[in-house]
C-alpha cells in the first residue's frame, strides 16, 4: 500500500512538474539595434511554430509563450537572435546589423526570394530609402537609386510624369516598362496615383530571366511596386508632413532692351536694311519677362497620416494623404493637388485559409501649361519676346494706335486688362504664337484636368497540404478623368485672336481587370530545395469611353461665370464621343527554382501568351528563360579571408515580348475620306477603302537578353553587385512602305527591324558604425550603348525624324549602325573670317563650295567629299541617350542627429537647344549672341547676325545647336533631429523627428538652357522645357 501511494505521489508530482514547465506565460520586452535604437516591426516568433508577433513603433512586444520555449527575434538586415524563455516574463534583445545583405528578401514575380538565392538581375529601393523624402511621383523614387534604369522628367511642372528606360531603348514603339502594383497591371500614364509614403518596396526586373514571368509585356522591363501592410501588435499612428517654398534653380541670360536693339540694328544693316532703333541706350534694360513669369516663393506642402495594427489573425494598414504644390511658372495656371487613401488588410481564417486585399484611391486636380514647347505659352514667350515691349502699356500715344485700337479708332474691347485697368503690353516686334505671358495667363484661369483612380485587388489563398499554396487573385483599375476649360474673347496679338468664347468639358472612363490563379509548392529533400510555380492569367484593359462637349459664344466672358446652364442655339454646341478597343491577353506560366545547399542555384521560367492584337497565324507566343547561380564562398575549398567574404556568380538568358503596336494591325481595316466624283454632274460620292493590305503573319516583337553578374561582400562591410548584359530585340514592328503601284493608301505593319543594347550595371553599399557615429554610403553607375542593327532589306535609314520649327531638315535620324534617333545635321568647321577664305574653300576645279557665304558665316564641312555642300553632307552629331547614369547616397548620423545627401546625374548625351524660334527673326537671343562674329578674328563659333541668312547659319540643323547634356545634381540634402525617446514617452509619443530638406539645390552642368534633364519620346530636345524647381522644406515625422 505504501509502495502504491508512493508511486501515485511520484506520478502526480511528475505530471504537475511537466504541466508547470509547459504552461504559457506572458513575455514582454524590447528589441533594439546595435546602436540602441528601438526596432519597430521586428518579428518575434515562438520557435518551431507559426505563432508570433511584431514589435510596435517603440520596439516593444508582448507574446504568450511556453515557459520553456524559445523565442526567435529577427529583422531584415540584422542577424536573428534566439532567446530561451526559461520562465522569464521580461526579455530584451539587441540585434546586430548583418553585413550579409545577400540575406535580404526581394520581391520577384508572383513571390519573394532571399537575395542570396536570386539568380536574375534585380535592383530597387526599400521603404527606408524613401522615408520623409519630397517625392511626388513614384518614378522619382528610382532615379539615381536603382541601377540599369534611365529616368528623365518630362517637365518640372508639379505632377508631371517622367520618361523611363530600363537598360536602354528596346524598340521603335512603346518603350515604357510594365508597372505591376500589388499584382495589378497599371498603365504608365496612370501610375501617378501612388503615394510614395505607402510604398514598402520597388523592384526593377531588368534581365529577361527575371522578367520572363510576365512574358509578352516585359520586353521593356518590369517594375514591381509593393505597398505597405499592417503588422500585428498595438495600434500605431504615424504622421509625416512638410511645407516649404520652391523657386527656379536657374534663369536664362537673355539680352536686355539696349542689347536687343543694338543687335537687331546690326542684323538689319547686314541684311541690307536700315537702322531700326536709332537710340538703343534709351530703352535701358527693358522688360525682364522671366522675372514676371517665375514665382520665387511657390508654395508646397504634403501631409500623410497612416494607421496600422492587427493581431495574429488579421492586420491592416490605412493611410490618408494630401499634396498641394504650386508651379514655379505662372502659378495661377500651374498648380497640382492630389488626395489619396489606401486600405490594405490580411486575414488568417485558420491554418490553411487566408485572404487579403489592397485598395488605393486618388483624386488629382491639375492646372498645367505645356511642359516643353516652342509654340507659345508663358515660358516660350518669355524666352522669345523682345524686352522693349512693356508688361503693361500705359503710354497714351501707344494706346491710341495699332494694335490697341480697332477700326473705329477706339480701344479694342477684347484687350486683356491688368489690375490697374491698363492693357497688357502687346509686342509689335515679335509675333506669331508669342504673347504677353501675363495676358495669356488671364485667358487660362480656371482651366484644369482631373482624375479619380481606384486600384485594388483581392486574393484567397489555400494551403490544402503543407507547403502547397493555391492562390486566386482578382485585380483591377477603374479610372475617371477629364478636364474643363474656358477660352474668353481676347486679343493677344494679331495672330492670336479669340473672337468668340467657348466652354469645354470632357469626361472619360477606363477600366481594366485581371484574374490570376497560381499554385506553388516548396519541397526540401535532404539538402535540395525545390519551389515550383504554375499559373494562369487573363488580362483585359482599355475598356474605355469618353464624351466631350463645347458651348460656343455663351453670354459671359470670364471663367467664374461660365456655365453649361446657358440656353444657347444648337449650332453653337459641338459634341462627340468615343469608345476604346478592348485589349485582351491570356497566359499560362511556370517557374522552377532549385538550390543545393544554397550553393548551386537554378531558375527556369516559361510563359505562353496570347494577344488580341495578332491574327490567328501568330496569336500566341512562348517566352522562356533560365538562370544559374554559384555561391562560391559556400564551397569547402573557399579560404577564410578578410577581403572577399561572400561571392555569388550569376548568369542568365531569356526571351520576352511586346505587342505594343495598336489594334487590328494584322487586318486590312477600312477608312473613309476616299471621295470621288462620279460621272459629269460634279457630285462627289463619299468613298471607303482598305487602309493597307493585311498581314496575317504579324507576330510578337522578341527581346532576348544575356546577363552575367556577381554579388559580393568585401572587407566585411562593402556590398558589391555587378552585371553585364546584351539585349537584342528582333522583329520590331513598324510600318512597311509600299510602292505606289500597289494602290494602297497606307502601309501595313511588319516585323522588319532589329536593335541592340549592351552595358553594365554596378551597385555598391557600405555601412559602418563608430560608437555614436553611423556612416552609410551607397551608389550605382550604369552604362548603355544602343545600336540599330537592321531596318529591313535594303533599308539603311528611316525617312523623316524629329523636327523643330523652320529647320531645313529633321534634326534626328534612325540609321543602321547608330543609336536610335541620333542627332543628325551639318558639321561646322569654323567661321569664314574674310572673302579670301570663302574663295579658297573650293573644290578640285576651283569652284567655291559656298558661293552664297559672306564673311562671318559658318564654313560647312564637306562630309562626303564631293566638292559641294548639299544635304548629303549631314552627319551624325551625337546621341540623346545618356551613355552613363549614376547616383550616390550618403547617410550620416550622430546620436540624435542625421544627415542625408543624395546626388544623381547622367553623362555622354547631347541636348539640342531649340529655345529660340528660328522662324521669328526678331525673337530675343541669349547673351551668347554678344560673342557673335562682328569682324575678322572676333569669333570662330557664333556667326554674324543678319536678316538675310543665305548661308542658313541658323536654319540648318548643325552642331551649333548641340550642347553636352552631362550633369551632376544634388537632388536631396536633408538634416534631421530625433528627440530623445525617454522624453517623448512621457507625453505619449513614440518618435518625434524634425528635419529640413533642400531639393535640387545645386546642379553642375555646362548646358546653357534651363535644365539638362529633359525627357520625352526623344530625350534631350529643349523646345522650352519647364525647369525643375529648387525647394526648401521643413518637415516633421510623428509616431504614436
CATH topology for 20-98 is Immunoglobulin-like (2.60.40)
pLDDT digits (tens, 9 = 90+) for 208-266: 999 999 988 899 999 999 999 988 888 899 999 999 999 999 999 999 999 999 999 99
Specify burial of residue 447 (Cβ count, 10 A radius: 0-12, 13-18, 19+). Answer: middle
Question: What share of the chain in percent tops pLDDT 70?
Answer: 96
Please name which of 29, 27, 22 lies closest in space to residue 63, comparing C-alpha atoms: 27
The whole-number pLDDT of residue 97 equals: 64
Poorest-pLDDT segment among 194-203, 397-406, 735-744, 762-771: 735-744
The whole-number pLDDT of residue 642 equals: 87
pLDDT digits (tens, 9 = 90+) for 58-74: 788 999 999 889 999 98
CA distance linking residue 1007 with residue 1018, whole number of Å: 18
**pLDDT, mean of residues 790-796:** 93
Judged against a pLDDT cut of 50, whether residue 301 lies above it is answered with yes
Question: What share of the chain in percent tops pLDDT 90?
Answer: 76
Judged against a pLDDT cut of 50, whether residue 11 lies above it is answered with no
The whole-number pLDDT of residue 98 equals: 61
Torsion, Cα 228 232 233 237, to 10 degrees, reads 20
Residues 912 and 811: beta-carbon distance below 8 Å = yes
Please name which of 939, 653, 960, 724 lies closest in space to residue 825, comparing C-alpha atoms: 960
**pLDDT, mean of residues 361-388:** 94
Confidence of residue 5 (pLDDT cuts 50, 70, 90): very low
**pLDDT, mean of residues 83-110:** 78
- Angle in degrees, CA 744, 749, 753, rounded to 5: 130
**DSSP string of 298-334?**
EEEEEEEEEEEEE-SSEEEEEEEEEEEEE-SBSGGG-
**Mean pLDDT score of the chain, rounded to an integer?**
92
The whole-number pLDDT of residue 920 equals: 94
Residues 40 and 309: beta-carbon distance below 8 Å = no
Judged against a pLDDT cut of 80, whether residue 972 lies above it is answered with yes
Judged against a pLDDT cut of 50, whether residue 176 lies above it is answered with yes
Judged against a pLDDT cut of 60, whether residue 896 lies above it is answered with yes
pLDDT digits (tens, 9 = 90+) for 123-135: 999 988 888 899 9
Confidence of residue 78 (pLDDT cuts 50, 70, 90): confident
Judged against a pLDDT cut of 80, whether residue 407 lies above it is answered with yes
pLDDT digits (tens, 9 = 90+) for 1013-1038: 999 999 999 999 999 999 999 999 99
Confidence of residue 9 (pLDDT cuts 50, 70, 90): very low
Judged against a pLDDT cut of 70, whether residue 153 lies above it is answered with yes
Please name which of 590, 718, 703 lies closest in space to residue 654, comparing C-alpha atoms: 703
pLDDT digits (tens, 9 = 90+) for 622-668: 999 999 999 999 999 999 888 999 999 999 999 999 888 788 888 88
**pLDDT, mean of residues 274-302:** 97
**DSSP string of 626-643?**
EEEEEEGGGSTTPPP-SS
Residue-range domain boundaries for the chain: 20-98, 827-873
Poorest-pLDDT segment among 379-383, 406-410, 680-684, 922-926: 680-684
**pLDDT, mean of residues 601-605:** 97
The whole-number pLDDT of residue 32 equals: 83
CA distance linking residue 866 with residue 839, whole number of Å: 17
**pLDDT, mean of residues 36-56:** 83
Cβ contacts of 19 within 8 Å, gap of 6 or more: none
Judged against a pLDDT cut of 70, whether residue 20 lies above it is answered with no
CA distance linking residue 102 with residue 116, whole number of Å: 4
Please name which of 169, 178, 182, 174 lies closest in space to residue 221, comparing C-alpha atoms: 178
Amino acid at each position: 500500500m505504501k509502495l502504491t501511494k508512493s508511486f501515485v505521489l511520484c506520478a502526480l508530482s511528475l505530471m504537475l512538474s511537466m504541466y508547470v514547465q509547459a504552461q504559457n506565460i506572458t513575455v514582454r520586452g524590447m528589441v533594439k539595434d546595435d546602436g540602441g535604437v528601438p526596432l519597430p516591426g521586428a518579428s518575434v516568433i515562438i520557435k518551431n511554430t507559426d505563432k508570433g508577433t511584431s514589435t510596435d513603433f517603440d520596439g516593444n512586444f508582448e507574446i504568450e509563450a511556453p515557459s520553456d520555449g524559445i523565442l526567435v527575434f529577427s529583422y531584415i538586415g540584422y542577424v536573428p537572435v534566439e532567446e530561451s524563455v526559461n520562465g522569464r516574463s521580461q526579455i530584451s534583445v539587441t540585434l546586430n546589423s548583418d553585413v550579409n545583405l545577400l540575406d535580404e528578401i526581394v520581391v520577384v514575380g508572383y513571390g519573394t526570394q532571399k537575395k542570396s538565392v536570386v539568380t536574375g538581375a534585380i535592383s530597387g529601393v526599400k521603404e527606408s530609402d524613401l522615408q520623409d523624402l519630397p517625392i511626388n511621383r513614384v518614378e522619382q523614387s528610382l532615379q539615381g537609386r536603382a541601377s540599369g534604369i534611365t529616368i528623365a522628367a518630362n517637365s518640372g511642372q508639379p505632377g508631371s510624369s517622367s520618361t523611363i528606360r530600363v537598360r536602354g531603348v528596346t524598340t521603335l514603339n512603346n518603350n515604357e516598362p510594365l508597372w505591376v502594383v500589388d499584382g495589378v497591371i497599371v498603365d504608365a500614364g496612370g501610375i501617378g496615383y501612388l503615394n510614395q509614403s505607402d510604398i514598402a518596396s520597388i523592384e526593377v526586373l531588368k534581365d529577361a530571366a527575371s522578367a520572363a514571368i510576365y512574358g509578352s509585356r516585359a520586353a521593356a522591363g518590369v517594375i514591381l511596386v509593393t505597398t505597405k501592410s499592417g503588422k500585428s501588435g498595438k495600434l500605431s499612428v504615424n504622421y509625416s508632413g512638410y511645407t516649404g517654398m520652391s523657386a527656379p534653380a536657374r534663369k536664362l541670360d537673355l539680352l536686355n532692351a539696349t542689347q536687343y536693339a543694338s543687335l537687331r540694328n546690326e542684323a538689319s544693316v547686314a541684311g541690307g536694311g536700315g537702322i531700326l532703333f536709332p537710340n538703343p541706350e534709351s530703352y535701358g534694360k527693358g522688360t525682364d519677362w522671366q522675372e514676371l513669369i517665375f514665382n520665387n516663393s511657390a508654395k508646397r506642402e504634403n501631409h500623410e497620416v497612416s494607421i496600422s495594427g492587427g493581431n495574429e489573425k488579421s492586420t491592416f494598414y490605412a493611410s490618408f494623404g494630401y499634396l498641394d504644390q504650386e508651379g514655379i511658372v505662372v502659378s495661377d495656371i500651374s498648380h497640382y493637388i492630389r488626395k489619396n487613401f489606401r486600405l490594405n488588410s490580411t486575414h488568417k481564417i485558420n491554418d490553411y485559409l487566408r485572404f487579403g486585399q489592397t485598395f488605393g484611391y486618388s483624386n488629382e486636380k491639375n492646372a498645367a501649361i505645356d511642359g516643353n514647347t516652342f509654340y507659345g505659352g508663358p515660358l516660350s514667350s518669355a524666352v522669345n519676346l523682345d524686352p522693349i515691349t512693356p508688361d503693361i502699356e500705359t503710354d497714351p500715344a501707344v494706346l491710341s494706335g495699332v494694335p490697341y485700337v480697332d477700326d473705329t479708332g477706339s480701344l479694342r474691347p477684347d484687350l486683356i486688362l491688368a489690375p490697374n485697368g491698363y492693357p497688357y503690353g502687346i509686342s509689335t516686334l515679335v509675333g506669331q504664337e508669342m504673347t504677353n505671358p501675363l495676358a495669356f495667363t488671364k485667358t487660362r484661369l480656371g482651366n484644369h484636368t482631373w482624375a479619380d483612380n481606384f486600384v485594388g485587388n483581392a486574393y484567397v489563398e489555400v494551403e490544402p497540404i503543407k507547403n502547397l499554396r493555391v492562390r486566386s487573385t482578382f485585380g483591377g483599375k477603374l479610372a475617371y478623368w477629364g478636364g474643363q476649360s474656358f477660352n474668353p474673347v481676347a486679343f493677344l496679338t494679331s495672330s492670336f485672336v479669340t473672337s468668340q468664347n467657348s466652354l469645354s468639358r470632357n469626361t472619360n472612363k477606363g477600366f481594366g481587370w485581371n484574374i490570376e490563379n497560381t499554385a506553388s509548392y516548396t519541397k526540401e529533400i535532404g539538402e535540395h530545395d525545390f519551389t515550383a510555380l504554375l499559373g494562369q492569367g487573363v488580362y483585359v484593359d482599355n475598356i474605355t469611353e469618353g464624351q466631350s462637349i463645347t458651348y460656343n459664344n455663351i453670354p459671359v466672358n470670364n471663367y467664374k461665370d461660365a456655365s453649361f446652364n446657358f440656353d444657347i442655339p444648337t449650332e453653337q454646341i459641338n459634341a462627340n464621343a468615343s469608345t476604346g478597343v478592348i485589349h485582351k491577353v491570356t497566359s499560362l506560366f511556370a517557374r522552377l527554382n532549385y538550390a543545393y545547399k544554397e550553393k548551386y542555384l537554378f531558375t527556369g521560367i516559361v510563359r505562353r501568351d496570347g494577344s488580341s492584337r495578332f491574327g490567328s497565324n501568330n496569336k500566341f507566343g512562348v517566352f522562356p528563360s533560365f538562370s544559374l547561380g554559384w555561391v562560391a564562398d559556400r564551397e569547402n575549398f573557399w579560404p577564410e579571408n578578410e577581403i572577399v567574404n561572400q561571392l555569388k556568380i550569376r548568369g542568365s538568358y531569356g526571351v520576352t515580348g511586346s505587342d505594343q503596336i495598336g489594334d487590328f494591325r494584322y487586318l486590312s481595316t477600312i477608312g473613309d475620306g476616299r471621295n470621288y466624283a462620279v460621272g459629269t454632274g460634279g457630285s462627289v460620292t463619299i468613298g471607303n477603302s482598305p487602309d493597307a493590305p493585311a498581314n496575317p503573319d504579324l507576330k510578337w516583337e522578341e527581346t532576348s537578353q544575356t546577363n552575367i553578374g556577381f554579388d559580393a561582400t568585401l572587407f566585411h562591410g562593402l556590398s558589391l553587385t555587378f552585371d553585364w548584359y546584351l539585349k537584342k530585340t528582333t522583329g520590331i514592328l513598324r510600318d512597311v512602305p509600299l510602292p505606289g503601284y500597289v494602290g494602297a493608301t497606307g502601309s501595313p505593319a511588319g516585323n522588319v527591324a532589329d536593335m541592340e543594347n549592351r552595358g553594365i550595371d554596378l551597385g555598391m553599399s557600405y555601412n559602418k558604425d563608430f560608437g555614436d557615429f553611423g556612416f552609410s554610403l551607397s551608389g550605382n553607375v550604369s552604362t548603355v550603348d544602343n545600336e540599330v542593327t537592321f531596318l529591313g532589306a535594303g533599308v539603311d535609314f528611316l525617312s523623316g525624324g524629329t523636327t523643330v520649327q523652320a529647320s531645313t531638315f529633321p534634326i534626328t535620324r534612325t540609321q543602321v549602325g547608330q543609336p536610335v534617333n541620333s542627332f543628325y545635321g551639318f558639321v561646322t568647321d569654323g567661321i569664314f573670317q574674310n572673302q579670301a577664305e570663302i574663295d579658297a574653300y573650293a573644290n578640285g576645279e576651283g569652284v567655291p563650295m559656298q558661293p552664297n557665304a559672306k564673311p562671318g558665316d559658318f564654313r560647312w564641312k564637306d562630309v562626303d567629299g564631293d566638292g559641294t555642300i548639299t544635304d548629303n553632307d549631314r552627319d551624325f552629331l551625337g546621341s540623346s541617350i545618356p551613355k552613363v547614369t549614376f547616383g550616390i547616397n550618403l547617410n550620416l548620423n550622430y546620436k540624435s542627429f542625421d544627415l542625408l545627401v543624395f546626388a544623381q546625374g547622367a553623362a555622354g548625351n547631347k541636348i539640342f537647344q531649340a529655345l529660340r524660334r528660328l522662324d521669328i527673326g526678331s525673337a530675343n537671343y541669349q547673351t551668347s549672341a554678344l560673342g557673335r562674329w562682328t569682324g575678322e578674328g572676333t569669333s570662330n563659333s557664333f556667326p554674324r547676325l543678319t536678316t538675310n541668312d543665305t548661308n542658313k547659319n541658323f536654319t540648318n540643323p548643325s552642331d551649333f545647336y548641340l550642347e553636352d547634356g552631362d550633369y551632376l545634381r544634388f537632388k536631396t540634402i536633408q538634416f534631421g533631429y530625433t528627440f530623445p525617446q525617454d522624453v517623448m514617452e512621457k507625453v505619449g509619443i513614440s518618435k518625434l523627428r524634425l528635419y529640413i530638406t533642400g531639393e535640387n539645390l545645386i546642379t553642375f552642368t555646362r548646358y546653357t538652357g534651363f535644365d539638362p534633364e529633359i525627357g520625352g519620346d526623344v530625350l534631350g530636345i529643349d523646345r522650352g522645357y519647364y525647369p525643375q524647381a529648387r525647394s526648401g522644406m521643413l518637415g516633421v515625422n510623428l509616431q504614436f
